[in-house]
Amino acid sequence: MIGRLVLVAFALALASPASARDPIGTAGSFRSVGWAQCRAPYEEWKQGACDPAPVDAALSGSSLARAHIERSVALLAQTRTEEALKAANAAVAIDPANVSSLTFRGRLLSTLLKLDAAERDLNAALMIEPTNPVLLASRAEVLLNAGKGPDAIADITAAIAQRPDDTDMLSIKARIHLSRGQVDLAERDLEHAVSLDPSDPRTRLMKAQAQFRLGQFEGAIDDATKTLAISASDLMARETRALALIALDRPAEAIEDLNVLLGPPGQPTTAVTLRHNREILFQRALLLAQLGKREESNRDIEALMLSGGKQAILRVQLYLRRNGFPDVRIDGERDTDFDNTLRNCVLDRACGRGITRHI
């Protein structure tokens, strides 16, 4: 499984893509590559102490190509992606028909979001090994990221026909289904994947998110909780569980998760400046008001208004004007009347939930 790999790229470089041992490269595979183990001081690092060894000029053929791939892996470990790509290019130049080199570079290009080039490399590899399930699954991911859903589903279906119990492939297929709004089909694939490997937090989180979208809130809570038991710092699992608890009208439990995500009321993390997290913060303000914790709710509202600036105030004023508060001014400025009106909206469940999308 991808989540257990430290250096995905070594498997790609040193094993044939047809090998059953090969993991599927995902769009984020190389971003999760472990940092270089070099412990040199910063000044020595800047002077090249951690640079990978140069390729041995005495090598030739497949050995030379492999050496360039190994150098690319080492450069990836230092997040020197452009240099890594140059090394991968050198490997392909030695033998443009080498499937391992083409696959490695294709996945790296996908990680760099150079999707057309990635697809060309994987197409070239598939011309040589047209039924290789790993290549088909890799191309399916590239096609998914390029917005080519029907082609992606055709590739991953062909790959899974050969490896019906490959959890990586099932996860890829599920993500393709999710991108096409086919949440029920995605949930079915994820259920199968989780049954095969209950310890994989990524697959279980995807299942929790799919269940949430299907309105299966108890199931979403269960899978999010199991994800957190495996990976306690997974913020997406915590958010999914919090939102499912809100949907089931369990505010006290939801607030516990939201406090982990956001920090204490009135002291949101810097991430709250992002629009999505601002909505979550407002959700907490609503829940606190619902539980009668007015002071804490007001602190969150204050933090929201301060972090959002004039545009946020204008959005809220427009919403209030259109939803039962016709006397609200539209000027992007705060005053006592505006603050009181906003708090009254928060105390009204329907008004408060409606304003969440505008905060």
**DSSP string computed for 17-45:** TT-TTPPPP-TTTGGGPPPP-----HHHH
User: What are the pLDDT digits (tens) for 257-273?
Assistant: 999 888 888 775 544 44
- Could you tell me which residue, 319 or 7, shows the higher pLDDT? 319
Phi, psi angles (nearest 5°) of residue 220? -65, -40
pLDDT of residue 24: 52
Model pLDDT for residues 210-223, shown as the tens digit of each residue: 999 999 999 999 99
Share of the chain above pLDDT 70, in %: 82
Mean pLDDT value across the chain? 83
Q: Which of 63-72, 159-168, 225-234 has the lowest mean pLDDT?
A: 63-72
pLDDT-derived band at 9 (thresholds 50, 70, 90) equals very low
Report pLDDT for 46: 60
CB atoms within 10 A of CB 154: 16
Region of 182 please: left (phi>0), alpha (psi -120 to 50) or beta.
Answer: beta
Q: Mean of the pLDDT values across residues 149-160? A: 96
Question: Could you tell me the two tokens for 102?
Answer: 């083409």
The angle subtended at Cα 303 by Cα 302 and Cα 309, nearest 5°, is 90
Q: Cα–Cα distance between 140 and 248 in angstroms, integer?
A: 36
CA dist., res. 12 & res. 100, Å (int): 7
CB 302 within 8 Å of CB 337? no
pLDDT at 269: 56
114 neighbors 27 (Cβ within 8 angstroms): no
pLDDT of residue 16: 38
Nearest to 163 by CA among 13, 343, 262, 23: 23
pLDDT category at 352 given cuts 50, 70, 90 is: confident
Rounded to 10 degrees, what is the CA torsion of 234, 235, 236, 239? 130
Instruction: Copy the structure tokens of residue 207.
Output: 């299942």
Q: At which residue do the structure tokens 């804490």 appear?
A: 296
pLDDT band at 349 (very low <50, low <70, confident <90, very high): confident
Q: Residue 310 has what pLDDT?
A: 81
pLDDT digits (tens, 9 = 90+) for 22-74: 555 444 444 333 334 566 666 666 666 677 778 877 888 888 989 899 999 88
Question: 122-129 long-range CB contacts below 8 Å, 24 or more apart?
Answer: 124/96, 124/97, 125/17, 125/99, 128/97, 128/99, 129/17, 129/18, 129/99
Determine the pLDDT at residue 85. 94
pLDDT at 303: 81
Q: How far apart are CA 125 and CA 135, in angstroms?
A: 7
**Rounded mean pLDDT of 107-135?**
95
Residue 173 pLDDT greater than 90, yes or no: yes
